Chains A and B, each alone.
Chain A
Amino acid sequence: MYGQDTARDIYRQALPVILVSLVAGLFAGTILGTETMRRGIGQVPGLLLLLPAFLATRGGVYGSLGARISTGLHQGLIEPDFALDRPLRNAVVASFVNGMTVSVFIAVVAFAVLRVLGREGNVLELVGIMVVAGFLSAVLMLSVLLTVILLGYRRGLDPDNVIGPIVTTLGDVFGVAFLMVGIRVMEVVL
């Protein structure tokens, strides 16, 4: 019965979910704490500045894509057959555009904040890192989300219940990892 839940009931129901996302957070943190990543952070001014915005954007872009696809499936607007018909394709393309646009925007804002703080920074380097990290995140998140949602839906799993944890877990872990790849790529390019 709703409303009769005691603190103990809520605790028992919420703890597993929180612990799963905790493990993901620790994983992301560990990647962040590696020698390579710390060297990268030291070398690229502005990287820590854009980190929270970058991680939050993953949730915003792909969480809302997931919610949209679930709604579409429930409404019969999207068929769970991977046919990439028009509404599904639109939603996927739009979330890719959103992800890339906001990634570039974050790099530019981070550069502006660096300047306001009176620090040196390289706008090209920041934009490059965000483009690489944003692109790799998009490829990974889109493929995993589509697979899980469409396969799960056919097996009777309500996508609304699984998207949140998937987006948080993958977004944090791979977001940080792809940031590291971006730093490496820009080291080579510049």
Chain B
Amino acid sequence: MSDAGDGKRTTDASRDEVTPDEAPIDAERGTGRGIPPDWTIRRIVRTMVPLLAALSVLQMVSGTVLETYEEALLENPALLILVPVQIGTAGNLASIMCSRLSTGIHLGTFELSPSNPAVRANVGAVFALAATVFSAVGVAAWGLGRLLGGSLGLADVLTVSLLSGMALAVLVVVMSLLAVQASYRIGLNPDDTTIPIVTNLCDVGGVLILFAVVAVVL
């Protein structure tokens, strides 16, 4: 997310975005250097706020799903517990896979093909991680839900968490492979572009898949 990497330092003449009271502070510290233009408050706010606002609008899609299922969620705390867990885990799996594939594409070890060793290893790992994590999540959400006064059985919670978790793994794999490949083809560095895009889409996908499964299973 950070765009501070270029390390440009401005001369005094170009410090147009800096308020006048900043000069004495620099003089006082004796550093004798200006603030780089991308370190001014205005610049940071102007870059970040539109981006964050757009992402929050995207997140309203999952919010709308949650709001629609409010009754079921309030009745079954186990489902409410699954919400942040699904959102978080989907994002984590996606960022690991994107980050690894981006490195792979730069090193020339990744190629979008089912027989590519990097593709096989990453896909295998994501599915194995998902199976492990979502089994544990199912048991934990069931137990905690019981403690909070819920009545869902272990089989139900485990089915919901495993089914939605494995579907989520498919989403993570497909989106990461496509995003890395597409970004590279277009000429954008996948290190910069894929993680924010894929993690946000997987956040939203996580909630959508969770409630699609809830609707089918319960």
Q: Is the CB of A51 within 8 A of B66?
A: yes
Selected from B45, B64, B89, B122, the residue in CB contact (under 8 A) with A18 is B89
Q: Is the CB of A34 within 8 A of B148?
A: yes
- B73 nearest in chain A by CB position: A48
Q: Is the CB of A48 within 8 A of B129?
A: no
Q: Mark B81-106, 1 if CB is under 8 A from A, else 0.
A: 11111011101110110001001100
A90 with B2: in contact, given A14-B96, A21-B89, A57-B52 (CB under 8 Å)?
A: no
Q: Is the CB of A38 within 8 A of B57?
A: no
Min CB gap B104→A, angstroms? 6
Q: Is the CB of A97 within 8 A of B45?
A: yes
Q: Is the CB of B49 within 8 A of A101?
A: yes
Q: Mark B35-68, 1 if CB is under 8 A from A, else 0.
A: 1100111001100110111011101101110110
Give Cα distance in the complex from A95 to B2, angstroms.
Answer: 12
Q: Which of A38, A52, A70 has the most CB of B within 10 A?
A: A52
> Which residues of B sit under 8 angstroms from A119, Cβ to Cβ?
67
Number of chain B residues whose Cβ lies closer than 8 Å to a Cβ of chain A: 81
Give Cα distance in the complex from A42 to B31, angstroms.
Answer: 55
- A30 nearest in chain B by CB position: B144
> Which residues of B sit under 8 angstroms from A85, Cβ to Cβ?
25, 29, 31
> Which residues of B sit under 8 angstroms from A94, Cβ to Cβ?
41, 44-45, 48
- A171 nearest in chain B by CB position: B88
Q: Mark A17-29, 1 if CB is under 8 A from B, else 0.
A: 1110110111011
A110 interfacial by beta-carbon distance below 8 Å:
yes
Min CB gap B129→A, angstroms? 6
Selected from B25, B49, B64, B200, the residue in CB contact (under 8 A) with A86 is B25
Q: Is the CB of B56 within 8 A of A105?
A: yes
B189 interfacial by beta-carbon distance below 8 Å:
no
> Which residues of A sit under 8 angstroms from B133, Cβ to Cβ?
18-19, 22
> Which residues of A sit under 8 angstroms from B59, Cβ to Cβ?
52-53, 56
Give Cα distance in the complex from A95 to B31, angstroms.
Answer: 24
Q: Which of B40, B41, B51, B132 has the most CB of A within 10 A?
A: B41
> Which residues of A sit under 8 angstroms from B51, Cβ to Cβ?
60
For window 60-82 of A, CB contacts with B under 8 Å fall at 60-61, 63-64, 67-68, 70-72, 75, 77
Q: Is the CB of A33 within 8 A of B148?
A: yes
A172 with B36: in contact, given A42-B74, A94-B48 (CB under 8 Å)?
A: no
Q: Which of B4, B140, B145 has the most CB of A within 10 A?
A: B4
A26 with B44: in contact, given A56-B200, A109-B57 (CB under 8 Å)?
A: no
> Which residues of B sit under 8 angstroms from A15, Cβ to Cβ?
129, 132
Min CB gap A49→B, angstroms? 4
For window 137-176 of B, CB contacts with A under 8 Å fall at 137, 140-141, 144-145, 148-150
**15 A-B residue pairings within 8 Å (CB atoms):** A5-B121, A14-B96, A26-B140, A26-B144, A29-B144, A33-B81, A53-B59, A57-B52, A67-B1, A70-B2, A75-B7, A90-B44, A101-B45, A110-B63, A113-B63
